[in-house]
Amino acid sequence: MNYIDEFRNGEIAKKLVTDLEKSAHKVNRPITLMEVCGSHTMAIYRHGIKELVPQNIKLVSGPGCPVCVTPVGYIDAAIEIARRDNVIITTFGDMMRVPGTKSSLQAERGMGEDVRVVYSPVDAIEIAQNNKTAEIVFLGVGFETTAPTSAVAILTAERESVKNFSVLMACKTMPEPMIALMAGELKIDGYICPAHVSAIIGEAGYKPVVNKKAVPCVITGFEPLDILRGLRMLTDQVAEGRAQVENEYFRVVTPEGNRKAQDLLNTVYVKTDAVWRGLGKIPNSGFAISPAYEKFDAAKRFKVTVPEPKENPACVCGEILRGLKDPLDCPLFAKACDPENPIGACMVSSEGTCAAEYRYGNWRHNDA
Ligand code: SF4
């Protein structure tokens, strides 16, 4: 079987849609399924999956885009460090335009601060080795998928005695917000579990979600047939009154996950409470640099304090990240806010829900 047949075959897609309709019909009530992965958000919009699902299934996006869930206060702290003398901030490109309370990293660079885009935290180590009189700070943002790369950079800095390198850590962990959201205003009937995160934490990572909240969880790949299969598996669970962790993406994700990456995470970090944009503080949902490596902790090295952060009150990113609103519910969408001039993080990030709707959604037809 070739790639197209395996993952994008139209006949198989039609059969899956028919099966999904049968399963949804058995439930005979509205079903809300949430994806918590920015790459799934993009794939669902790009492949028109929302238009394929039965009418009683609503697909909503949750807090799966790492840039989107990074709170304003973190951006403000990064800017505060960038403004100090002799500091080079290094970051992934998506973070550059995320608005802080009054500025962004891109605006700061425009005003002369040294902010550089890197493709890996290990690149930041190289910058540190080539700029020994400067302090190099890497912005550690992401989930269990990117956190190991920052851990490798910290271990490299330790091994090679790179003293002018540190990480401003804001990496988060996925299962905890899935549990927290179950106590929110939206009734969620099932989760499409994030594929990349699952490759690290394995099927076992979602056991707490199922055990504590009795909500179906299906680990799903990114291809259209993966997503349709995952939706059918979730809807089958809802129809049959089951709540289990199932794995559609078994060609990549194992029951126990990536033990080597997990060891790295456990070596360099400790779990901590974390603040999520739109969701607030969630207990035990983030990584902090462990005491053994605290000399690489930029928050401790620079002792940053920032005033109370403020979000643009017109932006509804927070509600979008909780699945309560769609981008089209925002009066600024495609008017004051678009990818060229983003007002909120959900439009800035290439994995944000507003950016996905802008790029692939039907809003232009709706306006016609
Ligand atoms: S369209 Fe822009 S302003 Fe509106 S919610 Fe999305 S990012 Fe925020």
- Residue 334 CB–ligand 1 contact under 6 Å: no
Phi/psi zone of residue 88: left (φ > 0), alpha (ψ -120 to 50 degrees), beta?
beta
- Asked if 64 and 278 count as a contact pair (C-beta separation under 8 A), the reply is no
Measure 109 CA to ligand 1 centroid, in angstroms.
24
Name the packing angle between helices 353-360 and 38-46 (round to 10°): 20
Give me 8's structure tokens: 């994008």
Strand order in 31-35's β-sheet? 57-61, 31-35, 190-193, 217-219, 245-247
Reduce the DSSP state of residue 283 to 3 states and report it: strand
Q: What is the predicted pLDDT for the residue at 28?
A: 87
Q: What is the predicted pLDDT for the residue at 363?
A: 83
- Residue 343 CB–ligand 1 contact under 6 Å: yes
Equal fold, 3-65+176-247 vs 67-173+257-302: yes
Q: What is the predicted pLDDT for the residue at 254?
A: 98
Please list, residue by residue across 254-281, b when 16 or more beta carbons sit within 10 angstroms of its beta carbon and e when fewer do. Answer: eeebbeebbebbeebbebeebbbbbbee
Q: Is 159 exposed, middle or buried (0-12, 13-18, 19+ CB in 10 A)?
A: exposed
Longest dimension (CA), the chain: 67
Cα 214-215-217 angle, rounded to 5 deg: 125
Class for the domain spanning 3-65+176-247:
alpha beta
Q: What is the predicted pLDDT for the residue at 362?
A: 84
List the one residue out of 355, 356, 317 whose CA is nearest residue 338.
355
Whole-number Å distance between alpha carbons of 187 and 240: 18
Which amino acid appears at position 116 of this protein? R
Q: Please name the residue whose Cα sits nearest to atom 3 of ligand 1.
A: 315
Measure 221 CA to ligand 1 centroid, in angstroms.
27
Whole-number Å distance between alpha carbons of 284 and 296: 21
Tally of helices (H runs) and strands (E runs) in the chain: 19, 11
Measure 337 CA to ligand 1 centroid, in angstroms.
6
CATH code that applies to domain 67-173+257-302: 3.40.50.11740
Q: Which residues contact 236 (CB under 8 A, 6 or more apart)?
A: 23, 242
- Residue 356 CB–ligand 1 contact under 6 Å: no
Q: Which atom of ligand 1 is nearest to the CA of 354?
A: 6
- Residue 147 CB–ligand 1 contact under 6 Å: no
Phi/psi zone of residue 48: left (φ > 0), alpha (ψ -120 to 50 degrees), beta?
left
Q: Which atom of ligand 1 is nearest to the CA of 346?
A: 7
What are the domain boundaries of the chain? 3-65+176-247, 67-173+257-302
Strand bridging mode 165-169 / 190-193: unpaired
Give me 7's structure tokens: 């993952």
pLDDT in tens, the chain (368 residues): 666 677 888 999 999 999 999 999 999 899 999 999 999 999 999 999 999 999 999 999 999 999 999 999 999 999 999 999 999 999 999 999 999 999 999 999 999 999 999 999 999 999 999 999 999 999 999 999 999 999 999 999 999 999 999 999 999 999 999 999 999 999 999 999 999 999 999 999 999 999 999 999 999 999 999 999 999 999 999 999 999 999 999 999 999 999 999 999 999 999 999 999 999 999 999 999 999 999 999 999 999 988 999 988 999 999 999 999 999 999 999 999 999 999 999 999 888 999 999 999 988 776 54
Q: Which residues contact 242 (CB under 8 A, 6 or more apart)?
A: 216, 236
Whole-number Å distance between alpha carbons of 158 and 338: 42
- Asked if 298 and 137 count as a contact pair (C-beta separation under 8 A), the reply is yes
Beta-bridge partners for 270: 288
Q: Which atom of ligand 1 is nearest to the CA of 333?
A: 1
List the one residue out of 189, 174, 192 whose CA is nearest residue 49.
192
Measure 287 CA to ligand 1 centroid, in angstroms.
28
- Residue 62 CB–ligand 1 contact under 6 Å: no
